[in-house]
């Protein structure tokens, strides 16, 4: 008999605590071992109950969730799922919580919390189970001198890459993983398109965060945006994104066709369009994430002549999406996170269009 996943719920709303307890306790694989209305109660319960997973609100009395999580990750790390209201302010806070060590983020229902949580029950339990299995990585941030040097060496070649495309897929753990890849790519990188599974509003905030730390433009994609060197486009939450081409020019289109693999945006939509329009002028990358989204699309890209990279298991928070791509032979190399940017640069240089 499998051991149940022990969960501690931390939220200042008694309604949320009660409803989450009901939802999670209905799953035979999950046991809610305690609840806490603020970080001070939570601190004591973390010590005595030793949960496998903590669900954590951000805005709470006495101490905010981000400050609390930072303290927890320094003393006795626990796998954490942020459960926050959906707003621009809270989406920025959620990004900071992931930087502090949270595994993933879920948005609270904006209205009719009781009905909303009931509708989200399956997703909530799935997220908790995924977080319980995730690798607990407390600090990934390292400056890679080797990557920086290769950026300088490749500058001339990258000036010729106007027809190349970089396509990246990521999910759980991807918000931090992308920070270990994108900032180490040159300012004139080929047009880059990314699907990172995130709720609406969060993607815009995240793109703005990346834009501040990268040497090129990073923005949440809008329908019709051009895909050009020196620009990274991130698919907005709840919208699929596909690459299109008119003559020598690439752009993106957004749409709300049904979810695939239970997600929207889906990387498979993007990757298959990149295979169709960019072919051998593309580099595909799949980073940490739950599920199998992106695998079929990467295989289509590989069959069209692209070069594909998957993040390795050891450096992944969740080795789901990369494993799915590796299992169907859709990638050329499996690399640790800190080596991916350097390999992208080498491949772009080798494939530069004269």
pLDDT confidence of residue 247: 85
Distance CA 77, CA 69 (A): 9
Same domain, 120 and 150: no
Distance CA 250, CA 240 (A): 17
- Please check whether residue 168 lies inside any domain of the structure: yes
The structural domain count of the chain equals 2
Same domain, 180 and 290: yes
What is the DSSP code (8-state) at residue 245?
Answer: E
Same domain, 59 and 163: no
Same domain, 123 and 170: no
pLDDT confidence of residue 157: 35
> Is 332 a catalytic site residue?
no
pLDDT confidence of residue 90: 67
- Taking the whole predicted model, whether its pTM rises above 0.85 is answered as yes
Same domain, 164 and 249: yes
Same domain, 16 and 119: yes
- Please check whether residue 201 lies inside any domain of the structure: yes
Buried residues in 24-63 as b, exposed as e (16+ CB within 10 A): beebeebebbbbbbbbeebbebbeeeebbbbbbbbbbeee
Domain end call among 133, 158, 175: 133
338 burial class (0-12, 13-18, 19+ CB within 10 angstroms)? middle
> Is 223 a catalytic site residue?
no
Domain CATH for 97: 3.40.50.2300
> Is 255 a catalytic site residue?
no
Range of the domain at 290: 145-350
Same domain, 157 and 224: yes
Distance CA 274, CA 300 (A): 9
Same domain, 154 and 86: no
Q: Which of 52, 170, 197, 343 is catalytic?
A: 197
- C-alpha distances (whole Å) from 314 to each of 112, 139, 180, 334 are 41, 14, 15, 11
The helix (run of H) or strand (run of E) holding residue 308 is: strand 307-311
Domain end call among 133, 164, 188: 133
Same domain, 176 and 110: no
Indicate if the alpha-carbon torsion angle 128, 132, 138, 140 is positive or negative: negative
- For the chain (354 residues), the mean pLDDT of every run of 10, in chain order, is 89 93 96 95 95 93 89 93 74 85 86 80 93 78 42 38 85 95 95 94 91 95 97 97 93 96 96 96 96 97 97 96 98 97 92 58
The helix (run of H) or strand (run of E) holding residue 195 is: strand 191-196
Q: Which of 93, 170, 171, 306 is catalytic?
A: 171
Domain end call among 74, 105, 133: 133
Same domain, 164 and 296: yes
pLDDT confidence of residue 290: 93
Same domain, 314 and 194: yes
Nearest to 233 by CA among 198, 195, 199, 201: 195
- Please check whether residue 138 lies inside any domain of the structure: no
Distance CA 297, CA 291 (A): 14
Q: Which of 225, 293, 312, 343 is catalytic?
A: 293
Same domain, 156 and 122: no
């Amino acid at each position: 008999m499998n051991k149940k996943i022990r969960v501690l719920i931390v939220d200042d709303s008694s309604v949320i605590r009660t409803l989450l307890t009901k939802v999670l306790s209905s799953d035979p694989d999950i046991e809610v071992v305690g609840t806490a209305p603020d970080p001070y109660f939570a601190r004591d319960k973390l010590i005595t109950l030793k949960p496998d997973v903590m669900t954590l609100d951000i805005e709470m009395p006495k101490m905010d969730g981000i400050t609390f999580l930072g303290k927890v990750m320094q003393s006795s790390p626990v796998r954490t799922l942020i459960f926050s209201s959906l707003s621009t302010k809270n989406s920025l806070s959620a990004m900071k919580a992931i930087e502090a060590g949270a595994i993933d983020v879920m948005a609270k229902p904006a209205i009719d919390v009781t009905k909303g949580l009931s509708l989200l029950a399956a997703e909530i339990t799935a997220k908790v189970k995924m977080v319980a299995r995730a690798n607990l990585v407390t600090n990934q941030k390292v400056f890679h001198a080797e990557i920086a040097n290769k950026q300088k060496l490749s500058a001339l070649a990258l000036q010729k890459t106007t027809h190349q495309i970089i396509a990246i897929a990521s999910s759980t753990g991807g918000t931090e993983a992308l920070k270990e890849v994108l900032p180490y790519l040159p300012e004139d990188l080929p047009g880059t398109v990314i699907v990172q599974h995130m709720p609406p509003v969060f993607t815009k905030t995240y793109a703005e965060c990346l834009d501040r730390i990268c040497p090129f433009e990073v923005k949440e994609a809008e329908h019709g945006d051009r895909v050009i060197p020196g620009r990274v486009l991130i698919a907005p939450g709840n919208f699929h994104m596909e690459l299109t081409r008119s003559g020598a020019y690439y752009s993106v289109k957004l749409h709300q066709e049904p979810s695939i693999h239970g997600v929207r945006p889906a990387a498979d939509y993007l990757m298959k369009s990149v295979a169709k329009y960019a072919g051998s002028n593309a580099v595909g990358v799949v980073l940490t994430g739950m599920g199998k989204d992106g695998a079929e699309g990467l295989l289509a890209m590989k069959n069209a002549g692209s070069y594909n990279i998957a993040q390795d298991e050891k450096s992944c928070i969740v080795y789901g999406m990369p494993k799915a791509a590796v299992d169907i032979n859709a990638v050329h190399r499996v690399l640790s996170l800190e080596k991916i940017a350097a390999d992208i640069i080498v491949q772009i240089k080798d494939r530069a269009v004269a």
